[in-house]
Amino acid sequence: MRMMLPVALLIFAAAALGAQTTDNLLDRLRGAQLPAEQREDLVRAFTAKDYDRVEAILGRQAPSPELRALTGAIEFVHGRMAQAVEAFRLSDAQAPLDERDRFTFAMALIELGGAKDARAQLTTLHDAHPGRPLYLYWLARIDYEERLYQEAVEKLRAVIKLDPESSRAYDNLGLALDMLGQPDDALQAFAKAVELNRKLPQPSGWPPHNLGALLLRMQKLDQAETALRESLRYDPQLTMAHYHLARVLDANGHDEEAIAEYKAAVSHEPVVTEALYSLGLVYRRHDRTADADAAFAEYKRRKAQSP
């Protein structure tokens, strides 16, 4: 199963090691084993975010392991994962990648759906640095995407022992426990994730969303609404939070508010289909036949186009 993640999240993950921040890459460019004029040209191009020029300059150089790894890092920040993977592979074949580049290599492999290869890179890193929770966390993410839920739970619990303040670890633990059919344990994990998430400088919308979605399934509607509204305070664009909040409002008979949230879900993420069907049902309850027909027709059109 392919673990598709936003490139921004992967870059954030890589930056957790200080691997691919702008300052770090600038330092690497300034220290590259190249003539001074070419180094200055590289720095100017990178500062201007002219990544194509950076890659063109690096591509004209002798293929040393250092420059190939640097090219991989630049390609990664550029969002060109296939090129990043190729550059890292070539560099690693010449000389072992350092810790930061190997982790970035793993993140690029994940984006390309190469879970097996990513697992190998992360396992190498975890074996070398067993005290770092980051590598074990991503190994657990791969377990989850491959439906190895018990293995994911075991790894995430180990991550929490290493980093008891990790809201992401608790959040993913809740997801894995839920998939194992342990909703009460999942609820506790999500609640802890939400608590820790609130302490972050920039809280994520996902922990309260995941808590709210589970509470909705458990028919604890008032608590679900509170959690989902918290999620949307952190991330007003989070489609699934709009959708699940709409379902809560729909179940509580707040139809006009539900309509607004269903519409928000569709507008923020055009591929959402279930929100359209639910929207049609609300319209039908209010004898808004034309609106209901339009919602159902759009639902059918998008459903037919979905893989």
Evaluate whether residue 240 is within a structural domain: no
Rg over alpha carbons for the chain, rounded to the nearest Å, is 23
d(CA 185, CA 166): 17
- On whether residue 83 sits in a domain, the answer given is yes
Domain that holds residue 55: 1-112
The number of distinct structural domains making up the chain is: 1
Q: Are 162 and 136 in contact (CB under 8 A)?
A: yes
DSSP state of 286: T
Q: Say if 40 falls within a structural domain.
A: yes
Residue 119 domain-assigned? no
In a domain, 66, yes or no: yes
- Sign of the four-CA dihedral 284, 285, 287, 291: negative
Query: How does pLDDT run along the chain (307 residues), one tens digit per residue?
Result: 344 444 444 444 554 444 566 678 888 888 888 888 888 888 888 888 888 888 888 888 778 898 899 889 988 988 889 999 999 999 999 999 999 999 999 999 999 988 999 999 999 999 999 999 999 999 999 999 999 999 999 999 999 999 999 999 999 999 999 999 999 999 999 999 999 999 999 999 999 999 999 999 999 999 999 999 999 999 999 999 999 999 999 999 999 999 999 999 988 776 678 999 999 999 999 999 999 999 999 999 888 887 6
Q: Looking up tokens 């808004």, which residue turns up?
A: 288
- Contact between 76 and 107 under an 8 Å Cβ cutoff? The reply is yes
> d(Cα 264, Cα 157) in Å, to the nearest integer?
36
> Which pTM was predicted?
0.86
Q: Is residue 57 part of a domain?
A: yes
At 4 the pLDDT is 43
**Which H helix or E strand runs over 126?**
helix 115-128
Asked whether residue 90 is domain-assigned, the answer is: yes
Pairwise CA distance, residues 169 & 176, whole Å? 11
**CA 53/CA 45 separation, integer angstroms:** 6
Q: Look at residue 45 in the predicted model and tell me its pLDDT.
A: 85
**Does any domain span residue 281?**
no
